Structure 1
């Protein structure tokens, strides 16, 4: 079951059915959706996606997905899930454009990485980012992600695969 996470300014909690309109609004904003998955989808597709969070993801406990809130208002979406792209777990997040540039992306990404390392016991976490998404690439670089490889997409664009490895804890002296 997806747990509730807290950061200094954010609350990450499982979606509730009443979050549907905020979810659809976030995913219908082309400034956001251009960077998500295969890009912008129809409103009907985003509503179906929201439904699958409950009927598939939560019902089958497939992976963790959260509504991201600040001061009680939903401002984003976050996930950490298995990915075939890197044979590991990938973080995915999106925030409403009104909060871009405020440091919340970095705070959210750090929370997802920490959850992956601490709660899921992962040795590394991945992110896939469009090569043209310089803002997300900069955020991830600042929190320790490194370029692993590029994927040439069918549409001619490039997706960067980034990785962050868990810091090795020093062992006691023998």
Structure 2
């Protein structure tokens, strides 16, 4: 069951069926979707993805997926899930363009990483980011992620794999 996470300005909680239009709008914005998965999808594909959040991800407790809200409004998306690509847990986050540049991305990423360490007991958390997504690479570097390798994609682009290790507990 996906837990509720809170930051200074954000609430990360499970999606509700009423979030569908805002979810689709977020994922249909190519400024956002160009950096997610295989890139922009059709509206029908994004609606199907939203449906799978409920019928698969939540129903089968596959991994944690959050709606990111500020002042009650959906402003982003976040997840943490096990992937073979990094042989571990990867964080995924996206914010609507109107939320960019205000530090909210850092809040989301830090909250999901902290949950990975404290909530899931992970020794490390990974992120995969398109090499061209300099804003996300800078954010992750600022919060302690380190570049570990590059993956050459079929389309010739490069994806950076970054890792952050849990800090040892103070004694």
Classify the TM-score, shorter chain.
Answer: over 0.9
Q: Which residue of structure 2 lines up, in the alignment, with residue 77 of structure 1?
A: 77
Write out aligned runs for 1:20-169 (5 A): 20-169=20-169
Aligned mates of 1:86, 1:43 — CA distance in 2: 29
Aligned mates of 2:169, 2:18 — CA distance in 1: 42
Q: Which residue of structure 1 lines up, in the alignment, with residue 3 of structure 2?
A: 3
Point out the structure with max Rg over C-alpha.
1
TM-score normalized by the length of structure 1: 0.97
DSSP 3-state at the match of 1:168: coil
Q: Which residue of structure 1 lines up, in the alignment, with residue 12 of structure 2?
A: 12
Aligned mates of 1:109, 1:22 — CA distance in 2: 20
Aligned mates of 2:64, 2:147 — CA distance in 1: 24
Aligned mates of 1:160, 1:85 — CA distance in 2: 11
The Cα offsets for residues 110-164 of structure 1, whole Å up to 9 and x where unpaired, read as 0000000000000000000000000000000000000010000000000000000
- Two-structure CA RMSD over aligned residues (Å): 0.5
Unpaired runs of 5+ residues, structure 2, are none
The Cα offsets for residues 11-69 of structure 1, whole Å up to 9 and x where unpaired, read as 00000001000000000000000000000000000000000000000000000000000
Q: How many residues align?
A: 171
Aligned mates of 1:19, 1:103 — CA distance in 2: 23
DSSP 3-state at the match of 1:115: helix
Aligned mates of 2:75, 2:36 — CA distance in 1: 15
Unpaired runs of 5+ residues, structure 1, are none
Aligned mates of 1:129, 1:12 — CA distance in 2: 21
Deviation at residue 170 of structure 1 after TM alignment: 3.7
